[in-house]
Amino acid sequence: AQSVTQLDSQVPVFEEAPVELRCNYSSSVSVYLFWYVQYPNQGLQLLLKYLSGSTLVKGINGFEAEFNKSQTSFHLRKPSVHISDTAEYFCAVRDIQGAQKLVFGQGTRLTINP
């Protein structure tokens, strides 16, 4: 079985500061890794994904994440945040071979202060 732990439930940051949202996962099989963003009253939007290859993946809105197999982590980073980045962020894993289902972390609420 897979599990995902997002280490921070809330992260407040000042505008234009860097941010890192942490994610650790546990799985006995190979997985795909994802970060999704959810704005208020909306569904989930894919920010970026790691499937294979380079461990540093770049996504939309200036976000990037690094896959670390030895530490089973997939932390999300952005060098300079904007007010519009205020949202909830979810890390997720999916079994490469098996079910389509995504297993999500509990989410991190990112609040950008002016």
Q: Which residues of this chain interact with another protein, rule CB under 8 A? A: 32, 36, 41-46, 49, 51, 90, 92, 97-107
Closest to another protein by CB, 106 or 113: 106
In angstroms, give the least distance from the CB of 13 to another protein.
Answer: 22
Q: Min. distance of Cβ 74 from another protein in angstroms?
A: 16
| Minimum CB–partner distance for residue 79 and another protein (Å) | 26
CB of 12 to another protein, least distance (A): 19
Cβ proximity to another protein: between 82 and 101 the closer is 101
The residue among 79, 51, 74 whose CA lies nearest residue 63 is 79
Nearer to another protein, 3 or 113 (CB): 3
Measured from the Cβ of residue 68, the count of other Cβ atoms closer than 10 Å reads 12
Measured CA to CA in angstroms, residue 100 lies from 31, 96, 103 at distances of 11, 8, 10
Q: Which is nearer to another protein, 19 or 50 (CB)?
A: 50
DSSP 7-22: S-SEEEEETT--EEE-
Contact indicator for 66, 75 with CB cutoff of 8 Å:
yes
Give CA–CA dist 67/54, Å, rounded.
Answer: 9
